[in-house]
Amino acid sequence: MKVLLRNPKREVEVAGGRSVNRLLDDLELSREAHLIIRNGTLVPGDARLDETDVIEVRPVISGG
Q: What are the residue boundaries of the structural domains of the chain, listed by start?
A: 2-59
Taking the alpha carbons at both ends of the chain, their separation in whole angstroms is 35
Residue closest to 57 by CA, chosen among 15, 20, 22: 20
pLDDT score of 63: 74
| CATH number for the segment(s) 2-59 | 3.10.20.30
Q: How does pLDDT run across 4-63, given as a tens digit for each residue? A: 998 889 999 999 999 999 999 999 999 899 999 998 999 998 999 999 999 999 999 877
Percent of the chain as helix, strand, coil, to the nearest 5: 15, 40, 45
Q: What is the pLDDT of residue 42?
A: 95
Give the pLDDT score at 64: 65
Name the E strands within 1-64.
2-5, 10-13, 18-19, 34-38, 41-42, 48-49, 54-59
